[in-house]
Amino acid sequence: MNNAVPLFVILLLTVPAVFVGKYRDQWIRDNAALQELKEDQFPNKGSVEILNGCGKSGLGDIYSSFLRKNRFDVKSTGNVVVKNSTIWNYSKTLVISRKKDMQLAQEVATLLRTEPPVFITTDYNESDVTVIIGHDYGDFTNDQ
């Protein structure tokens, strides 16, 4: 009976050590992978909403990818909808600043090669900038 207590203590200390050791290596690999991520892989310039106002399918994804590569946080993409109707009649691409400081919107407009941004605020908008893609969309991604 005297030998049972030390054996119990040994088992009590050994089982958690084996369990922790089993997952320790995976934790080290995961942590090393996180350390390898570069800071420039994370968006940090501001949030953008992209709306298709011309009807050409797939443009929202193209614009999203381009802006994400340029470190913008694209929150959402969709179509321009007014009173439950989709609107496709935007002749020009429009960049709208949702904040009084229009520096971020100006940077988006420069990247997309559009007219200067306009300031329009709403109570419901969650993004810093809204981009409405118009019929003048171009291939702005080739030489950047």
**Residues 97, 123: one domain?**
yes
Q: Mean pLDDT of all residues in the chain?
A: 81
**Residues 66, 128: one domain?**
yes
pLDDT at 79: 95
Residue 81 is assigned to a structural domain of this protein? yes
Domain with 27 in it = 4-37
pLDDT at 138: 76
Two structure tokens written together for 103: 């520096």
Count other Cβ atoms within 10 Å, centred on residue 83. Answer: 5
137 or 34: which leads in pLDDT:
137
**Residues 96, 48: one domain?**
yes
* pLDDT band (50, 70, 90) for residue 125: confident
**Residues 94, 115: one domain?**
yes
Please state the domain count of the chain: 2
Average pLDDT over residues 66-72: 92
Query: In this predicted model, what pLDDT tens digit does every residue of 84-121 receive, in sequence order?
Result: 999 999 999 999 999 999 999 999 999 999 999 999 98
The DSSP secondary structure of 79-143, one letter per residue, reads E-EETTEE-----S-EEEESSS--HHHHHHHHHHT-SPPEE---SS--SSEEEEE-TT---TTTT
- CA dist., res. 73 & res. 57, Å (int): 21
Residue 98 is assigned to a structural domain of this protein? yes
**Residues 33, 99: one domain?**
no
Query: In this predicted model, what pLDDT tens digit does every residue of 11-66 receive, in sequence order?
Result: 666 655 555 555 666 656 666 655 555 555 556 789 999 999 999 999 999 999 99
pTM of the complete model: 0.68
State the DSSP H helix or E strand holding residue 76, giving kind and residue range, or none if neither: strand 73-79
* Beta-ladder partners of 45: none
Query: 85: domain CATH number?
Result: 3.30.70.2390
pLDDT at 83: 92
Helix (H/G/I), strand (E/B), else coil: 50: strand
